[in-house]
């Protein structure tokens, strides 16, 4: 009986004149003042059997039904009772049952043709039982909710005035990229060493427009400092207008690169990582269980943490030493370059056999490069089968 009453009421509302019980929404979630500004509008009703309950039925600006939700506290958007969503063909897409804003009862999903595809029973937010009537292979349209059925994408502040939805999406993507570019701080040690790199981040803009669930999906060898900065800049993104699905705010996933570039080029950390991997493939010295450990990295817990810490400390030490020893007259005359030094850390932890395998082109700077490497502090040596062994490194020394 309730279903019949609902559809009769909807039919009446579609032809009704807007009254004081109508709420207009821009991008399905932001209240505005009139239908001219709105993409979606909602008509509010009181439940005759329960005066505390408010029913909101949402429509698109061209009067297609989007959703119908029962609230026990509309001001705080506390859902209590049925919630229904319709697809673009005006067929029922999803139904949910709530009790005090928790899923409680049946969550049903339908195909584009309105056939019941899947039913999940909930008990105060906890899934109790799943019943599949039509599998995803049989009809993928039955599983379009979540990220795939977005009616309105998340919107970066300032892009809300753009009228076309596709243009708003493009504006948001460009604004995110510009924000990252303008607010990324190049880690000094990495910059001074002349390294470049790219960190690719995945993150969620949740139903409140906030950034959450960050994940690094692409990094570089020795990229810990770049990763930390990429996380910081993504977390600092301003609050956005959230995406919406079926007329309700929802989360959406983004994937963006955070680039660390230097004018005039630089050495990609990816290349350095590949070179070191090549070096490790050599039969002599390189394949060991435990790599050498820098003095300040011995407190790190895991083997990987010790190795990452040591690599960063080597980068810092080389960059700072080269900066201190760079002759003023050469620097003033803009005579610089980059020397690649190959050396061995022996069984005691001392540096030996320092060689310039790619010179700067300036004898003084090449000599200083060897001096920088030889000035390493005593490291904890590498070990193989519990015994100290030699290990070989290749490190660039930059003068610029």
Q: For the segment 111-160, what is each residue's pLDDT rounded down to a tens digit?
A: 887 888 899 999 998 989 989 888 766 655 544 544 344 467 888 998 88
Amino acid 237: pLDDT: 95
**Residues carrying CATH 3.30.1150, the chain:** 165-260, 282-399
CATH topology of domain 2-148: Outer Surface Protein A; domain 3 (3.90.930)
Amino acid 92: pLDDT: 87
Amino acid 277: pLDDT: 47
Which distant-in-sequence residues (6+ apart) come within 8 Å of 154 by Cβ?
Answer: 172, 205, 209, 240, 241, 242, 243, 252, 254
> Residue 216 in contact with residue 247, Cβ under 8 Å?
no
What is d(CA 81, CA 105) in angstroms, rounded to the nearest whole number?
Answer: 9
What is d(CA 132, CA 31) in angstroms, rounded to the nearest whole number?
Answer: 37
**Residues carrying CATH 3.90.930, the chain:** 2-148
* pLDDT, tens only, 231-274: 999 999 999 988 877 667 788 889 999 998 877 666 666 644 44
Amino acid 150: pLDDT: 45
Amino acid 222: pLDDT: 65
* Domain 282-399: top CATH class: alpha beta
Tokens 């990324």: give the residue. Answer: 184
Overall average pLDDT of the 360-379 stretch: 89
> Residue 279 in contact with residue 241, Cβ under 8 Å?
no
For residue 41, with 0-12 CB atoms within 10 Å meaning exposed, 13-18 middle and 19 or more buried, which class applies? buried
* pLDDT, tens only, 11-34: 333 333 344 488 888 765 677 787
What is d(CA 280, CA 311) in angstroms, rounded to the nearest whole number?
Answer: 15
DSSP class of residue 290? B
Question: Taking the domain 165-260, which CATH number applies?
Answer: 3.30.1150
Overall average pLDDT of the 279-304 stretch: 71
CA 302 to chain CA mean position, Å: 26
Find the length of the chain.
400
Q: Report strand pairing: 105-110 vs 126-132.
A: unpaired
Amino acid 286: pLDDT: 47
What are the two backbone dihedrals, phi and then psi, of residue 223, each rounded to the nearest 5 degrees? -95, 20
- The mean-pLDDT minimum among 20-34, 70-84, 237-251, 313-327 falls in 20-34
What is d(CA 308, CA 36) in angstroms, rounded to the nearest whole number?
Answer: 57
Take residue 180 and report the two structure tokens written for it: 């990252």
Please list the residues that pair with 67 across neighbouring strands: 58, 85
> Residue 204 in contact with residue 253, Cβ under 8 Å?
yes
| Residue 197 pLDDT level (bands cut at 50, 70, 90) | confident
CA 361 to chain CA mean position, Å: 43
| Residue 279 pLDDT level (bands cut at 50, 70, 90) | very low
Average per-residue pLDDT for the chain: 80
Which distant-in-sequence residues (6+ apart) come within 8 Å of 223 by Cβ?
Answer: 197, 199, 269
Take residue 357 and report the two structure tokens written for it: 């395998």
Q: Report strand pairing: 267-268 vs 195-205.
A: parallel
């Amino acid at each position: 009986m309730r279903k019949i009453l609902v559809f009769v009421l909807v039919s009446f509302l579609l032809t009704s004149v807007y009254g004081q019980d109508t709420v207009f929404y821009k991008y399905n979630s932001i209240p505005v003042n009139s239908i001219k500004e709105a993409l979606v509008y909602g008509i509010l009703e009181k439940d005759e059997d329960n005066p505390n309950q408010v029913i909101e039925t949402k429509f698109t600006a061209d009067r297609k039904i989007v959703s119908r939700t029962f609230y026990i506290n509309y001001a705080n958007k506390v859902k209590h009772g049925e919630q229904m969503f319709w697809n673009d063909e005006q067929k029922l897409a999803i139904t949910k049952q709530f009790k005090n804003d928790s899923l409680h009862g049946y969550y049903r999903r339908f195909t584009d043709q309105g056939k019941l595809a899947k039913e999940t029973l909930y008990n105060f937010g906890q899934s109790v039982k799943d019943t599949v009537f039509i599998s995803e292979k049989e009809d993928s349209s039955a599983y379009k909710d979540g990220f795939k059925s977005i009616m309105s994408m998340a919107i970066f502040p300032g892009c809300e005035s753009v009228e076309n939805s596709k243009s708003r999406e493009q504006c948001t993507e460009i604004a995110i990229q510009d924000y990252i570019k303008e607010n990324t701080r190049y880690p000094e040690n990495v910059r001074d060493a002349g390294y470049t790199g790219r960190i690719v981040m995945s993150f969620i803009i949740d139903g409140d427009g906030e950034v959450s669930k960050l994940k690094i999906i692409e990094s570089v060898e020795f990229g810990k400092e770049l990763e930390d900065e990429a996380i910081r800049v993504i977390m600092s993104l301003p609050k956005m207008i959230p995406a919406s699905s079926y007329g309700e705010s929802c989360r959406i996933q983004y994937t963006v690169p955070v680039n660390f570039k230097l004018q005039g080029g630089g050495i990609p950390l990816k290349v350095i990582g590949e070179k070191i991997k090549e070096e490790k493939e050599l039969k002599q010295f390189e394949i060991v269980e435990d790599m050498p450990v820098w003095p300040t990295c011995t407190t790190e817990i895991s083997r990987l943490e010790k190795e990452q810490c040591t690599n960063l400390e080597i980068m810092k030490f080389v960059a700072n030493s080269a900066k201190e020893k760079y002759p003023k007259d050469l620097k003033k005359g803009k005579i610089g370059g980059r020397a690649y030094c190959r050396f061995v850390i022996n069984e005691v932890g001392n540096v030996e056999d320092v060689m310039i395998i790619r010179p700067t082109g300036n004898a003084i700077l090449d000599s200083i490069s060897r001096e920088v490497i030889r000035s390493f502090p005593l490291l904890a040596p590498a070990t193989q089968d519990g015994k100290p062994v030699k290990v070989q490194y290749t490190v660039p020394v930059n003068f610029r």
